Amino acid sequence: MCRICNKHQKTIDHLISGCSELAKAEYIQTHNKAAAYIHWATCKHYNIKVKDKYYEHEPSSVIENEEATILWDMPIQTDKEIKANRPDIAVKDRKERTCVLINKSVPNESNTSLKTIEKLFKYKDLETEIERMWRMRTTTVPVVIGALGLIKKGMEKYTSKIPGNIEIQELQKIVLLGTAHILRKTLSIK
């Protein structure tokens, strides 16, 4: 049995993406490190001052300049009640009149396709409401990388919509290092 939750068999799949106890902190940490890299690259794109190295970057809830506003894990207030109103990152480009809702996920390898569709569907109402309220072309961008680095075919199509130079290989590296950390930590518990 899993030493952490004592509910399921201790398998690699369970430890890297299926343990309810690890989900409370460990999985979130891996998710947030990968999302912080996207935030860092987006800030650089808009000439917003950030640290030289992405792994030293601490995202602010709201950061802006004359070109853009970037929201980190902030609920977006709408006229109509929308349950899924908190994307990981929202990028509002004033000049281009666009808004990009970025949603990161690190599921089990077998769930990458399902999570991609889930993210697109989940934020569709928010996308529609932002277009109406802010009069901006709005796009939802799912960034789904399996806990062992698997990406769905066509990931470049999504990451190319994110302002900045997002390198998929760097995201995979961040996720893999997070997964390795989780495994080392959990398997060393006696």
Tell me the pLDDT of the chain averaged across its residues.
Answer: 95
Q: What is the pLDDT of residue 30?
A: 96
Q: What is the pLDDT of residue 73?
A: 97
Output DSSP code: residue 3: T
Q: What is the pLDDT of residue 29?
A: 95
Report yes or no: 74 and 62 within 8 Å, Cβ to Cβ. Answer: yes
Average of pLDDT values for 159-167? 96
| pLDDT value at 90 more than 90 | yes
Q: What single-letter amino acid sits at 3? A: R
| pLDDT value at 190 more than 80 | no
Placement of tokens 């891996």 in the chain: 30
Matching CATH number, 12-187, of 3.30.70, 2.60.40, 3.30.420, 3.40.91: 3.40.91
Q: What is the pLDDT of residue 116?
A: 94
Alpha carbon of 7 to those of 20, 84, 94, 106, 147: distances in Å? 9, 29, 49, 22, 21
Can you say whether residue 71 is alpha, beta or left, with left for phi > 0 and alpha for psi between -120 and 50 degrees? beta
Q: pTM of the prediction?
A: 0.94
Average of pLDDT values for 34-59? 97
- DSSP E strand stretches across the chain: 62-64, 68-72, 89-93, 98-105, 137-144
| pLDDT value at 3 more than 90 | no
Average of pLDDT values for 23-52? 96
